[in-house]
Chain A
């Protein structure tokens, strides 16, 4: 079927309606020299030559597999079982869209249903939607929900500085015209200090678990005080860590969001990633996106249906407050396949490897002269190291040895000058960690 939006006659009709004789007249506002500029393109190439050219271009990039990676801070280097890509690339699944006649695609709906179910289990929540673009947009949407629950009368949003700086920026961008009082992240505060900012105008309190520095804060009292004030507690979580830790739901979270990239999605230059969003049942009517449910068809067989789209454009038309039909469906499928092949025990094992290898690395680095691990709170697989030299100089030394060092915390946390945020996953073998320690020892002297 050819797709021809307008016939010649229709075009002429439209031109006549606006009083423009020809299509060229319509574009007169564009300077002639810019209308059809000469493009300085090389001669057409054969497919073989193009492949060679593209290969050369791609080799100009560094590849994650060529380095020992000790950097996380929101994007994590985990093992991706081969089956994940094998399933993703199947034609039946290879789209980010929810089909417009969704019930016809039972496989897609079942995959989303399984994804939602597993995200609920991980987070300790009652319901999960079928995904957002990334962790940052999930957090921004959590604020939308909290403001709705507070009927837009509550204007205060309290953010922990322990939330990824970019997530906080995205939230502030989304809500910049809302006349909100967004506070709490001007400095690093403990959970107790954050609780002191809660007032009767507070719609939401958000913390990260583990936080950006990899640390685990006790948020139970904060949850209590948030609820006493009638506000919602939003927890930004690392899904791999949740395999090992008490779920945010058990700690009192009302909404749990985060980046799903660690679940079977490669680093791949920063995207596409996967925002997960789960909440208590009380709030399902406020969420963006969709929820797929399980039911029985007319023959009594198990079937999957699009159950809820409370804010979407196809249901609410001009009153919609969301239109994420292009959610990260394919990435959600990756997470689904990953979680199902890892299983509960496999995921826990991966999380334990992350934890133990990170702690081995931290202990060895702490023993080095010129490096001190910040240990005021327990940590999962990321930790902060105080260095004797600027982080950029240390990373240059590491880079020359094929090691990607930690994130320099100075730009986002000026009081943490010369502090590096390191990350260790199951991908970092002991030999790699020992090489990092050697390189750090060397880097101390410059």
Chain B
């Protein structure tokens, strides 16, 4: 089954997070594919502003009625904002994964060089093959 949205301006990780880079600021969320697989999301465990995040490591968690999954950051950096709305409306991850459902914003530490990410086309193919 295909038809998941994959906006062109974002990059995607194999662990189904998306990242939008603007200079040294990165915004992270989970992909449409991820929210669809997880089903109804009931809780998002957010980091705190000021926390240091390391690429490849967990910075939080999403819990759905089906499973709980870790959020893995593709970049290292410092948290400059978290989406407070998710505390009371975790379902934003389902309804609006690329805008209202953003999760954290980071100040990227090493110049924003990110390896191993896929563009929209690559990620669409990646999802379709799973």
Contact = CB atoms under 8 A, between A and B. Distances in A.
Interface of A: 151, 285, 310, 315-317, 319
A285 B45 contact: yes
Nearest to B42: A308
A242 B43 CA distance: 33
A316 B43 contact: no
A315 to B, nearest CB: 6
Contacts of A319: 68, 70
Interface residues of B, number: 9
Contact of A310 (B47, B51, B63, B70): B63
A285 B48 contact: no
A191 to B, nearest CB: 29
Interface centre among B51, B68, B70 (most CB of A within 10 A): B68
A266 to B, nearest CB: 39
A285 B43 CA distance: 9
Nearest to A286: B45
Nearest to B66: A315
A316 B68 contact: yes
B68 A151 contact: no
A151 B45 CA distance: 11
B47 to A, nearest CB: 8
13 contacts: A151-B47, A151-B48, A285-B43, A310-B43, A310-B63, A310-B68, A315-B63, A315-B67, A315-B68, A316-B68, A317-B67, A319-B68, A319-B70
B61 to A, nearest CB: 8
A317 B68 CA distance: 9
Contacts of B45: 285
Contacts of A151: 47-48, 51
Contacts of B68: 310, 315-316, 319
Interface string B41-60: 00101011001000000000
Contacts of B67: 315, 317
Contacts of B48: 151
A377 to B, nearest CB: 39
Nearest to A311: B68
A151 B52 CA distance: 12
Given A151-B48, A310-B63, A319-B70, 7 more contacts: A151-B51, A285-B43, A310-B43, A310-B68, A316-B68, A317-B67, A319-B68
A317 B67 CA distance: 9
A285 B70 CA distance: 15
A56 B30 CA distance: 68
Contacts of B70: 319
Interface string B7-20: 00000000000000
A151 B51 CA distance: 10
Top-10 shortest CB links A-B = A316-B68, A315-B68, A285-B43, A319-B70, A285-B45, A315-B67, A151-B48, A310-B63, A319-B68, A151-B51
Nearest to A316: B68
Contacts of A316: 68
B118 to A, nearest CB: 25
A290 to B, nearest CB: 14
A323 B45 CA distance: 20
A310 B61 CA distance: 11
Contacts of A315: 63, 67-68
Contacts of B43: 285, 310
A310 B44 CA distance: 12
A309 to B, nearest CB: 10
